[in-house]
Chains A and B, each alone.
Chain A
Amino acid sequence: MIRRLVIVASVTAALGGLFLFGLLRGSPDRDIESARLNRPVPAFELPLYERYHASFGPTLDVGSYLGEVPMIVNFWASWCGPCYEEAPDLQAAWEDFGGQVLFVGVQTQDRGRQQEGRDFIDQFNLGFANVIDDDSSLSIEYGLFGVPETFFIRADGTLAYKHAGPVTYELLEEQVLALTGGTP
């Protein structure tokens, strides 16, 4: 009799626990490992915002840098709150490490909102190149789950790490050191 009670109570507790887990776990974790990890990332050529034309021309051809220098590719959108949070850290990291690593910002999942994109860039006075992925095809190509997401690409063109969510200066510094083989 007691054995039966123990079995019924265990099964009920297990099912109840599973139900509560599903109920309370909130939004699903988006920090899923990229399918491109340790594989070469695709090259792309996209239009640049006007303020970068003097340095790069009207488009940025990432293919000419891939496999040559380490890169940090940050995807953002003008409607995305956490993108505003991380922008000052990205700008500060670019000021400190822009000579060692190519920083590229990609406005994506933001079709037709170039003016909002310009306002975003002006608000943080972003010095690193920012391109427009108007039809989000690059976002699909990189297997993006949402914005912001940041891809850390080795000098050989393979993906070292992908970070989902806003980045901090500390994380960027740590990743730059990992990409360049430097010491803090």
Chain B
Amino acid sequence: MKRAVFGWLAIVLLAVPAAAWAQGDSGGVVELESRVFELGRQLRCPTCTSESVGDSSSAISIEMRNEIRDQIALGKSDDEILAFFQERYGDWVLLEPPREGIHLFVWILPVVGVVAGAAGLALLMTRWLAKARAPLDDVNDEDLARVQAAMKSGPDA
């Protein structure tokens, strides 16, 4: 009986830290894979159409994810890993274009578009309002008298 109790106690004492270690380890794997996926999402799959390295199951994307994993293991930062691929594939590989040089157009153009659109709309509205508020100068006295009479007599007249 005593032996059995000690046996169970030993199992529990060993199992708890082992479970905690396993949990901690899988947490690390999840964290690593999330980072690999996040970096992969920022890179364009070279052999696919409109798919990122993170989303694609093509052979080259799988190898590129392996490369990202290896570089993380080497302690490289996200910027260093992205620069690694950029150096080999050019700016094309980055799904988010760099904010410099000719790529600035991609970032500036939408803002310019929105500002120009808003300015155009404001100009049009100002014109419409000015037109609506302008006094009617081509109304003859007869029409004016009819309108005034109608307004005085009300809708039932």
Contact = CB atoms under 8 A, between A and B. Distances in A.
B64 A143 contact: no
Contact of A109 (B59, B88, B90): B59
Contact of A140 (B49, B86, B88): B88
Interface size class of B (residues with CB under 8 A): 10 to 19
A136 B66 CA distance: 10
Question: Does more than half of chain A's interface fall in helix, strand or loop, or is it mixed?
Answer: loop
Contact of A32 (B47, B49, B59, B92): B92
B57 to A, nearest CB: 13
Given A28-B49, A145-B47, A35 B63 contact: no
Contacts of A139: 60, 63
A127 B129 CA distance: 82
Interface string A78-100: 00000000000000000000000
A145 B85 CA distance: 12
B contact face: mostly helix, strand, loop, or mixed = helix
Nearest to A26: B49
B2 to A, nearest CB: 56
Contact of A145 (B46, B66, B87): B46
B80 interface: no
Interface residues of A, number: 21
B25 interface: no
B89 interface: yes
A142 B85 CA distance: 10
Contact of B67 (A109, A137, A145): A137
Given A137-B67, A140-B64, A145-B46, A36 B59 contact: no
B90 A32 contact: yes
Interface in B121-139: none
A80 B49 CA distance: 18
B85 to A, nearest CB: 8
Interface centre among B60, B67, B86, B92 (most CB of A within 10 A): B60
Contacts of A136: 59-60, 63
Contacts of A35: 86-90
Contacts of A36: 88
Contacts of A145: 46-47, 89
Contacts of B89: 35, 143, 145
8 contacts: A34-B90, A35-B89, A35-B90, A109-B59, A143-B90, A144-B46, A144-B60, A146-B60
